[in-house]
Structure 1
Amino acid sequence: MDWTALLRLPTTILLILAVISLFFTLVQLVALRQHLHGGQPVAASGRAVLVLLAFAITLLLAGLGFALRGYRLLTEEAPVVEIESHILSPQRWSLVLHWPDGSSRQVQVAGDAWRVEAVVLKWKAPAMLAGLPPLFRLDRLSGRYDDPADEAHALRTVVDFNEAGGFDLLDLHRQFPRWLPDVDALFGSGVYLPLVDQGHYTVSLMRTGALVARPDEATEQKIAQPF
């Protein structure tokens, strides 16, 4: 089998093959011991080659399995929010936010684009590869102008997502960092996309802690249309 084909196998299959290869290695190891005790050096040499080859294959399969598992976890995305936009007047927009739990919220922003920012708590590699996802808290949504002059002087709109008085694990880490010793970094992540009438966008969080924003196909076509 071409080794590149192994990279396309699911992690579970690779690990199962690694277990089978390990069992074969142990069988050959037992046979090797029997040949050594039986005074058969030629046969023992052949078994020794099989043991080394089978053990190398076991390590390769197990290594690929765990490596692919880590890669899948690092690129897996969790939905954060969906955004629908409707124009009210030039550079004035009504946005409907849909959360993964089914709740929604309507807000208004000014500008040419929307921007979502989040605070992300990222774990160290061992915890992350074990399946512990990064923690995040949406911090704010704001309007963004294409022209820096408008950004400096036009109406600014910011929607705060923080709940006053609520328990916040991220704030707890800031105050008592030793309570969460496996934390790798605490940082901000933000994304923005141009606003169009009847636009639909999705925002998700990657295992690396980066926010990713995507318009649907119809919205992308509207964004690409020349003015």
Structure 2
Amino acid sequence: MPDPVFIIGLLGAVGLFFLALGGARVRRRPGAALRNGLFGCTSLGLAALLGAIGFNLLTYQRLSAEHPVATLAFEQLADQRFRARLELPEAPARVYELAGDQWQLDARFLKWHTPLVLFGLEPRYRLERLTGRYRTAEDEQYRLRSVHQLTDDAGLDLWTWAERHPAWLPMVDASYGSATYLPMRDGARYEVRATASGLLARPANDIARRAAGDW
């Protein structure tokens, strides 16, 4: 598959070339200069668009079969209050405080149409939020809520475009959200994996296994 950076750079270079050519012809051949200028602006605009899409795509991780995306470990601070340690592959660990009885991890997924898959573009995912969750709906309505954003949008938001304007991004086959949740317990540790169908969480120690078996 051609390097996207090379394609963007080539489009930008072509655009600048035709803009310069149009500027050189503006006095002697104004019609040709106008055509050169329009073509140059179109090439630069397309390069900018692809660059914005590529920049946003960098916020997503490649999804190749099932593989671990996060590990969560919990320390109880008080009743329905926990400290969560979130470990991500090749990234510093993060610590959050969560209120509730359960934890929930949300993610976005992007899948591509077959031609792009054949050229090597793999499905991608991005972790979105870590949330505290209560066991009962009444607590969920009236108790303290805790929500932590894990990733900020950058560049052109592919998710929003794919949802609102599917005809503008025909290469996106599907964009969907996925969430997984399990009980919080002092000393519990969980592993979260990304699969083609979404997130999957599994207990990673005996405390977590007992918590998952009790709820």
Q: Normalising to structure 2: TM-score of the pair?
A: 0.61
SS at the partner of 1:219? helix
Cα 1:92–1:76 shift into 2, 3 Å: same
- 1:216 is matched with 204
- 2:104 is matched with 115
Query: Between the two proteins, what is the percent identity of the paired residues?
Result: 38
SS at the partner of 1:181? coil
CA RMSD in angstroms, aligned pairs only:
2.7
Alignment of 1:170-209 (within 5 A): 170-171=159-160, 173-174=162-163, 177=166, 180-208=169-197
Letter in 1 for 2:187: Q
| Structure with bigger gyration radius | 1
Residues 112-167 of structure 1, C-alpha deviations (whole Å, 9 max, x = no match): 00001111112235544775332222111111111111011111110012326x22
- Consecutive unaligned residues in structure 1, runs of 5 or more: 1-73
Alignment of 1:13-52 (within 5 A): none
SS at the partner of 1:152? helix
Does residue 105 (structure 1) correspond to residue 105 (structure 2)? The answer is no
Q: Distance in 2 between matches of 1:226 and 1:169?
A: 40
Residues 59-80 of structure 1, C-alpha deviations (whole Å, 9 max, x = no match): xxxxxxxxxxxxxxx9921322
Does residue 139 (structure 1) correspond to residue 125 (structure 2)? The answer is no
Mapped contact 2:203–2:209 kept (Cα < 8 A): no
Letter in 2 for 1:156: R
Which one has the bigger helix percentage?
1
Deviation at 1:83, TM superposition (A): 0.7
SS at the partner of 2:135? coil
- 2:139 is matched with 150
Cα 1:77–1:154 shift into 2, 3 Å: same
More moved, 86-95 vs 198-207: 198-207
Deviation at 1:204, TM superposition (A): 1.4
Mapped contact 1:133–1:207 kept (Cα < 8 A): no
- Consecutive unaligned residues in structure 2, runs of 5 or more: 1-62
Cα 1:130–1:222 shift into 2, 3 Å: farther
Q: Distance in 1 between matches of 2:164 and 2:134?
A: 35
Aligned length: 152
Residues 84-129 of structure 1, C-alpha deviations (whole Å, 9 max, x = no match): 1110001000001111013111000100000011111122355447
